[in-house]
Amino acid sequence: MKRLINSQQLMERAQKIIPGGVNSPVRAFKSVGGTPPFIMKGAGAYIWDEDGNRYIDFVGSWGPLILGHAHPEVISAVSHTLKNGTSFGAPTEKEIQLAEMIIERVPSAEMVRLVNSGTEATMSAIRLARGITGRDKMVKFDGCYHGHGDSFLIAAGSGAMTLGEPDSPGVTAGTAKDTLLAKFNNIESVAGLFEKFNDQIACVIIEPVNGNVGCIPPQNNFLQDIRELCTRNGSLFILDEVMTGFRIARGGANELYNIDADLLTFGKVIGGGFPIGAYGGKKAFMEHIAPVGPVYQAGTLSGNPVAVTAGIETLKRLDQKAYDQLEDSGAYFAQKMQSLIDENDYPLMQHRVGSMFSLFFSKGPIRNVDDVKQCDFERFNQFFHYLLDNGVYIAPSQYETGFISLAHQKEDLDNTVHIMSEALKQMNI
């Protein structure tokens, strides 16, 4: 078992001055129990905690570290940029360069606006869609996460086609009434909402791969059918690619699934580990944003040169060879895990899209959040702690996704599968 003496002391200290001792809820390990390791440093595929324990890292700062931790060329470029200043609140050439790189890669992106986070990107995209259409309501999917904006913190109502209800104190009923909830991989739920509210729906926003309840890919032309419904009803289709963008393909899900989105949101990888986000889309829509159009959005730190530099240096290295390697590693890891499941007839299943993956403690099928809720959470928690104690760091929740980076070697993947095998044996699953 890993010794977490220093981490325990840091947690006790943090809890006195930071709510829950953390600056983002999942870090508290509330769903799995125990003390979260406080991380001291990272390099390549590994992180080290304040007690000196090393872990093979499959969280990667929740996805952006596609090159691995502390990539030397990214660090070098960022250090050079820092010498020239940290922030100007004024235009820089690097902003243009990053926007050009995004547009060159993403088929549906003709213009881009940089912001400071994925949450800011999705909030801005929704406002833009409402401003363009003159409509108030939006459709989101139960289990899809688009940041902590009020419009997104909505729970399903009492019926299949009801208005949403606030999912957090502080979100008003007035805000919730404009968010409609559909089911991921269930096109009938989307069609039903359009039938009932068609001339009121400004947009549909979706994670093309549902990555915040585990890794769940779209099935049976689900995304294409949503595109058709939006076109038919005069609503905008927004792909939230904060997680999938530049992670699952060079042009993200927009390219992988050949979806002609109206607007897209980005984050994670385009910051190379620094805080940044972006939203983009068709020029005709993006030109509704101030100062060209009437829809207002601003940010003093938007296009911060340090974050932009990290994004440029990350995207430079993500050529087709890099994506072939990520696919190779993802397929290799999935095959090893599937062999482990099949040979032992474990009641488990997995999903993978490129270098995103999830192992579910259920025989499946896993099509949306309702299926994930049926997983064996107690077994997952035991599994998580065995991995953590033996040097493998995965997300502390069955509701999260794992990420493979270019820094992960086959030896790391083999070692991880071996530790997983030992965990499952110990659990007598």
Active site residues: 145, 240, 268
**Helix (H/G/I), strand (E/B), else coil: 351:** strand
DSSP state of 295: B
- The tokens describing 126, both together, are 């929704």
Is-contact 247 354, C-beta < 8 A? yes
What gap in Å lies between CA 180 and CA 165, rounded to an integer? 9
- Burial level of 283, CB count in 10 A (0-12/13-18/19+)? exposed
Helix, strand or coil, per DSSP, at residue 372: helix
Cα distance from N-terminal residue to C-terminal residue, the chain: 20
Q: Determine the Cα–Cα distance for residues 427 and 425; give it in Å rounded to an integer.
A: 5
**Which residue intervals of 45-162 are DSSP H helices?**
72-82, 93-105, 118-133
> In which element (H, E) is residue 117 found?
none
Q: Are 21 and 9 in contact (CB under 8 A)?
A: no
Nearest to 31 by CA among 419, 427, 416, 395: 395
